[in-house]
Structure 1
Amino acid sequence: MSAARRRDTAPELALRRALHARGLRYRVTYPVPGNRRRTIDVAFTRAKVAVFVDGCFWHGCPEHGTQPHANAGWWATKLAANAARDRDTDRLLTDAGWTVVRVWEHEDPDTAADHIRIVVSAK
């Protein structure tokens, strides 16, 4: 697990490039209000829009998420804790007046960037 990147993953960089190409400016690894140990992948602070790029394995993608067979009980607990933390982070941000957008790593970055641009400009 220590070899897994926490930030600047290929899907995250592709999305950030697409957002920048659309003229959007953002903050990277911005602290979550109410829990400074957690960070927002891409934050639009003025519009209060938080974007998370979720990995299919780590966040339990319904299309591509897998369950390891080796040490299955430990992994099930770990992945369930990740999902619960995601829901808690969404709640913290929503309570603070933020809009949360979650993007799966397998989504097309250009399509995701177009959606995010609409959400940011609506604020």
Structure 2
Amino acid sequence: MLGNRNRDTSPELALRSLVHAAGLRYRVAAKPLPRMRRTADLVFRPTQIAVFVDGCFWHGCPEHFVPPKTNPDYWRDKINRNCVRDRDTDERLAAEGWLVLRFWEHQAASECAEAVKAAVLNRRKQLGGR
């Protein structure tokens, strides 16, 4: 599993490129909350938005996840723990006033970028132009 990327995946790079081209600036693979040991793929600190691009296998996509035939108990538990951690991350960030945006790797980068752009601009208005 060490060979699997946890950042700079193709879907993430495509999203980052489009968001950057739209004029938005962000932190890459950063902790939204300093005391939390979890990183978001894109972090917009002034507007408190954390963006995650979840892999279909690693996060149990309802459309594309196919359980492995080898060692199925291990993988079922592993994927379930990932999903539980995702929900916990969402709840902890929301409790601190953050907006969490999650996208699947199979979603079109252009649609995801538009959603990120709209969310950032909306939060800027709400927070007084930050």
Question: Does the pair score TM above 0.5?
Answer: yes
SS in 2 for 1:32: coil
CA root-mean-square deviation = 1.0
Q: For 2:98, give the aligned amino acid.
A: W
**Number of residue pairs matched?**
123
- Partner AA of 2:122 in structure 1: A
- Residues in 2 aligned to 1:24 and 1:118: alpha-carbon distance in whole angstroms: 11
Query: What residue in structure 2 maps to residue 75 of structure 1?
Result: 75
Q: Distance in 1 between matches of 2:38 and 2:32?
A: 6
SS of corresponding position for 1:66: coil
- In structure 1, runs of 5+ residues without a counterpart are none
Structure 2: 5+ residue stretches without partners: 124-130
The residue type paired with residue 30 of structure 2 is: Y
Identify the structure with the greater strand proportion.
Answer: 1
Query: What code does the residue aligned with 1:2 have?
Result: L
Amino acid at match of 2:120: V
User: How far off is 1:32 after superposition?
Assistant: 3.4
Give the alignment of 1:20-35 within 5 angstroms: 20-33=20-33, 35=35
- Residue equivalent to 2:9: 9
* Aligned equivalents of 1:34, 1:114: Cα separation in 2: 28
TM-score (norm 2): 0.91
Q: What is the match of residue 112 of structure 1? A: 112
Counterpart Cα distance in 1 of 2:111 and 2:81: 29
Compare 31-40 and 67-76 and name the one that shifted more.
Answer: 31-40
Shift of 1:66: 1.3
Identity %: 49
